[in-house]
Amino acid sequence: MPELPEITVYVERIRELAGGQVLDRIRLASPFALRTVDPPPAALAGRTLTGASRLGKRIVLEFTEDYFAVMHLMLSGRLHWREPGAALHRRHGILALDFAVGSLQMTEASSKHRASLHLIAGKSGLEQFWRGGADVLTATPEELAQALKRQNRTLKRALSDPTIVDGIGNTFSDETLHRARLSPFALTRELSPEEILRLHSAASAVLCEWIERLRSEAGEGFPRKGATGRPELAVHGKFGHPCPVCGAPVQRIVYADSEANYCPGCQTGGRVYADRSLSRLLRDDWPKTLEELERLERMGPAR
């Protein structure tokens, strides 16, 4: 799912490419994409795009007279800037917002139809999309601590919960915690002031680095590739690969539709946490430390 860095660059490029332009029409290729019926798409035609902003992981397009288009890309949605009136992608095209200078198009490489467009009349209608999480790029360490400690959650879950922290998901929660040298399973109310400072600094640094990277790669267009699966990532999606800092093999815990990736050497003092599905099979044979894990690897598979 696109997170804060990618959404930030999308918003910047929309402002530069379509800011001040009149919306000619909205084209919908999928009936599942539009989640509102009032106002209808025709109500935004002829209105000028006056601004674009990020609201959590959503992109908000503001038009004259307080009309808004709110887009959520979900897991596999992406935005593209095409020539005026360009046809939508035959398989993955979802919708297009057509301007005289170009066409802002959404694709979704999934059959689950999760990407969405909400059309809103009046600023008060945006309140339903605000989840209340702290923005680590503008919050002080004290404000971040206050948000994290309202509930006693694991750090991984807290950082990826939009009601606690804004705009961070699976990828950048892993990357932030690795940079901060904090366990994803540490409890928020047990964090020391020094750990809060490390977390705040790491989150700001990681997010800003990725904004700059995606901004540079996008050039005058849109980001062509998100962060997920990128070789520049330290731990997310790197299960079994050596940590770029200490060389220990990256570990992971898979749960529901998410996972926590971490380095035992940098983050957990050498402790290896049991993956729920595998630990049920291995029971007491699950390695508890890096030393036990390395010993099993040296032994190789049982013959």
Among residues 129, 157, 185, the one where a domain terminates is 129
- Domain interval for residue 221: 141-237
Please, what is the angle between helix 193-218 and helix 141-148, to 10°? 110
For 156-183, the pLDDT digits (tens) are 999 999 999 999 999 999 999 999 999 9
Cα separation of 294 and 284, whole Å?
A: 16
More confident residue, 243 or 296: 243
Among residues 176, 203, 237, the one where a domain terminates is 237
- Looking at the structure, tell me whether residues 64 and 177 fall in a common domain: no
What confidence score (pLDDT) does residue 291 get? Answer: 63
Whether residue 261 lies inside any domain: the answer is: no
Whether residue 253 lies inside any domain: the answer is: no
- Cα 172 to Cα 46, 166, 271, distances in angstroms: 38, 11, 22
- Looking at the structure, tell me whether residues 109 and 155 fall in a common domain: no
| pTM (two decimals) | 0.88
For 84-134, the pLDDT digits (tens) are 999 999 899 999 999 999 999 999 987 778 899 999 999 999 999 999 999
pLDDT at 265 over 60: yes
Among residues 222, 237, 252, the one where a domain terminates is 237
Tokens of 215: 């901004």
What confidence score (pLDDT) does residue 290 get? Answer: 56
Number of structural domains (the chain) is: 2
- Looking at the structure, tell me whether residues 124 and 148 fall in a common domain: no
Beta strands in the chain (DSSP E): 23-28, 49-55, 58-63, 67-72, 77-82, 93-99, 102-108, 116-121, 251-255, 258-262
Torsion angle, CA of 6/69/77/132, rounded to 10 degrees? 60
For 9-61, the pLDDT digits (tens) are 999 999 999 999 999 999 999 888 999 989 999 999 999 999 999 999 999 99
pLDDT band at 262 (very low <50, low <70, confident <90, very high): very high
